Amino acid sequence: MTWLIPVLVVLAVIGSIYGLKPSPRDARLGQLRLDATKAGLQVRHCSFQVDAAKTGVREDITGIGYTLVFRPPFHDDTKPQEKLLFRIVGQPGWESQGLPEGLSWHDLPGDPALGQEQRLVLAQALSADIQSALAGFPDDVLLLELYENRVSLIPAERKAATAEAYKQALTALSALAG
């Protein structure tokens, strides 16, 4: 019976080491995020709290965000460019004019002083360009934000997703910042 103790110790050590090995899903996501970083995208954990009363969207969004910065973050006066041009969520909401099924506007494009109706018309005009940029996108969009200097995406990170597809979609969307 004394031989049983060393065998149990060896099995415990091997089990502990094997437990540290990432799962196939974790390895795939790690490689996806590394590839995105190598492609020039910023990768970070993001959370967004929705305004359910304003938009009808109910669930807050949390996930890994992929961001493409296409302009320097500062104007000549060194103040950050933080103006949001529009925000789209991957949930049903009250305003989904022109967007692919399953997406809705959280923050409509245009100056809020324009009024809701004028901003909906602008959103309708932008929707064809957004659909074109997302055509063939191999993942589900949870959140999409376009600012003056960057575009950010929180995808579902499905198995078919690639860093190159993320970069292509973000690059196409960055053209909408004009």
Q: What is the pTM of this model?
A: 0.83
Pick the range with the lowest mean pLDDT from 2-11, 142-151, 158-167. 2-11
How do residues 82-115 score in pLDDT, each as one tens digit? 788 889 999 988 888 888 888 998 888 777 767 7
For residue 177, with 0-12 CB atoms within 10 Å meaning exposed, 13-18 middle and 19 or more buried, which class applies? middle
- Per-residue pLDDT tens for 147-174? 989 999 999 999 999 999 999 999 999 9
- pLDDT averaged over every residue in the chain: 86
CA atoms of 99 and 162, how far apart (whole Å): 23
What is the pLDDT averaged over residues 126-153? 91
